[in-house]
Amino acid sequence: SAAEKGGYDYFMLKEIAEQPRAIADTLLGRVAVDGTLTLDEMRLAPEELRQISKIVIVACGSSYHAGLIAKYAIEHWCRIPCEVEVASEFRYRDPILDPQTLVIAISQSGESMDTLMAVRYAREQQSRVLAICNVNGSTIPRESDGVLYTHAGPEVGVAATKTFLTQLVACYLVGLYLAQVRGLKFGDEINAIIGQLARMPEQVEKVLNTVQPVRDLARSLAEAKTVLFLGRHVGYPVAMEGALKLKELAYMHAEAFAAGELKHGPIALIEDGLPVVVVVPSREGRSVLHDKIVSNIQEIRARGARTIVIAEEGDESVRPYSDTLIEIPAVPTLLQPLVATVPLQVFACELALAKGNDVDQPRNLAKSVTVE
Ligand code: G6P
């Protein structure tokens, strides 16, 4: 009913709008004022967490993209090797696991059969398994050693939105907690990031308040045959999530590339008028990557691409090469996916609406897939 949708026409629109609240709720009670993290509910003792020598993240769909982003954060903050794999592949390739491996299973529903089978396999190999889930008491957390719940609230729209952002928050919390527990040398950086993480609800709110031009843009692209997405570092999985959203909702061909790979093949696809969405890295620290992407934007534009550029506010370097410039708040690199994903959700949703699709129940898809 209209009341359940909070006055919105679709659950998805309501769920996109709820993201600042969902992030705040996922942080609530877990971050003390002095920056100490409390994640006792994970049921994994600090002693066990100090023994871990490898992390393996398994998930499907959007949850897999959250895992890809988590890898950058966990390896950087904790210096623990971290692999990420789609659950349906992981399970059947005889992966190397042992009791010092922490397997993190990310699943909104806690019921995806592929992920559940990976969890069972990991436990048979004596690995510790931590679930990141949104549905209390669902199967995956029940079968795992520990769980960290995302507090996004029920998500009705089939395509993940607020659960994706809160999965990212949960992954960041796990990474920062591991760094704290293992007493790593980056104390100051970790504390600064925790402070920034606490401010993410307002940053996402800012994005939502400035996203109208994205809707107009999406409507103008309803007839496009394909849309390409480019990113690098954490912006690469963000690009993958943007492409997945477009496939799921708008039934449109979309593909994401690591921007550095462009020259190794995909640049041959560029032709006049082809829409290309580019996620520009933050200018913090890794400005080398930032400058490389600016060159990529120039290269594709010179070949006729219609460039849709998502960049930090005040980043004037991209403006001359952007047919459309979408500004997001400047936040630390590793947290940028929280703000960069939002315009992509809105873009896919609005484009799908322009085509007359039901964005809550896209054709052929299920909210949770309980078969292999
Ligand atoms: C289905 C949904 C996707 C979701 C994926 C993983 O395919 O349509 O939106 O990302 O399952 O679901 P999970 O509940 O395991 O996160």
Tens-digit pLDDT profile for residues 141-169: 999 999 999 999 999 999 999 999 999 99
Cα-to-centroid distance, 164 and ligand 1 (Å): 10
Which residues, at least 6 apart from 327, have a Cβ–Cβ distance to it below 8 Å? 210, 311, 312, 313, 314, 315
pLDDT of res. 352: 97
106: tokens are 């990310």
pLDDT over threshold 90, residue 182: no
Q: What is the pTM of this model?
A: 0.97
Residue 291: C-alpha distances to residues 263, 268, 281, 284, 331 (Å): 16, 22, 9, 12, 17
Whose tokens are 């003792």? That residue is 45
User: Could you say which of 54, 292, 355, 367 is catalytic?
Assistant: 367
Closest ligand 1 atom to Cα of 159: 9
Average pLDDT of the chain, as a whole number: 95
> Is position 5 annotated as part of the catalytic site?
no
Return the residue whose CA atom lies nearest to atom 5 of ligand 1. 61
pLDDT over threshold 80, residue 285: no
Cα-to-centroid distance, 12 and ligand 1 (Å): 15
Return the residue whose CA atom lies nearest to atom 11 of ligand 1. 368
pLDDT over threshold 90, residue 98: yes
Query: For ligand 1, is residue 62 a contact (CB within 6 Å)?
Result: yes
Let me know how many helices (H) and strands (E) the chain has, helices first.
14, 10
182 against 69, higher pLDDT = 69
Query: For ligand 1, is residue 107 a contact (CB within 6 Å)?
Result: yes
238: tokens are 């963000």
Burial code (b: 16+ CB inside 10 Å, e: under 16) for 24-63 equals bbbbeebbeeebebebeebebeeebbeebebbbbbbbbbb
Give strand ranges (E) for 32-161: 54-59, 82-86, 101-107, 128-133, 146-149
Residue 238: closest CA among 150, 162, 168: 168
244: tokens are 């997945």
Residue 106: C-alpha distances to residues 21, 64, 110, 209, 370 (Å): 21, 7, 8, 29, 15
Residue 244: closest CA among 365, 105, 74, 355: 365
Residue 243 host element (H or E): helix 235-250
Q: Which of 15, 104, 108 best tests ligand 1's pocket when mutated (most atoms within 8 Å of CB)?
A: 108
Tens-digit pLDDT profile for residues 48-81: 999 999 999 999 999 999 999 999 999 999 999 9
ipTM of the complex: 0.97
What is the 8-class DSSP label of residue 1? -
Separation of alpha carbons 53 and 2, rounded Å: 50
Q: Are 43 and 128 in contact (CB under 8 A)?
A: no
Cα-to-centroid distance, 293 and ligand 1 (Å): 30
Share of the chain above pLDDT 70, in %: 98
Pairing mode, if any, of strands 306-312 and 275-279?
parallel
Closest ligand 1 atom to Cα of 163: 16
pLDDT of res. 312: 96
Torsion angle, alpha carbons of 60, 249, 201, 32, to 10: -20
Query: For ligand 1, is residue 369 a contact (CB within 6 Å)?
Result: yes
pLDDT over threshold 80, residue 2: no
Burial class of 17 by CB neighbour count within 10 A (0 to 12, 13 to 18, 19+): middle
pLDDT band at 185 (very low <50, low <70, confident <90, very high): low
Which residues, at least 6 apart from 352, have a Cβ–Cβ distance to it below 8 Å? 249, 250, 251, 359, 362
Query: For ligand 1, is residue 63 a contact (CB within 6 Å)?
Result: yes
pLDDT band at 122 (very low <50, low <70, confident <90, very high): very high
The DSSP-derived string for 178-230 is HHHHTT-TTHHHHHHHHHHHHTHHHHHHHHHHT-HHHHHHHHHTTT-SEEEEE
Separation of alpha carbons 83 and 115, rounded Å: 15
Residue 299 host element (H or E): helix 287-302
Query: For ligand 1, is residue 134 a contact (CB within 6 Å)?
Result: no
Cα-to-centroid distance, 369 and ligand 1 (Å): 7
Residue 273: C-alpha distances to residues 220, 225, 254, 302, 303 (Å): 12, 11, 15, 11, 9
Query: For ligand 1, is residue 60 a contact (CB within 6 Å)?
Result: yes
Radius of gyration of the chain (CA): 20
Q: Are 292 and 260 in contact (CB under 8 A)?
A: yes
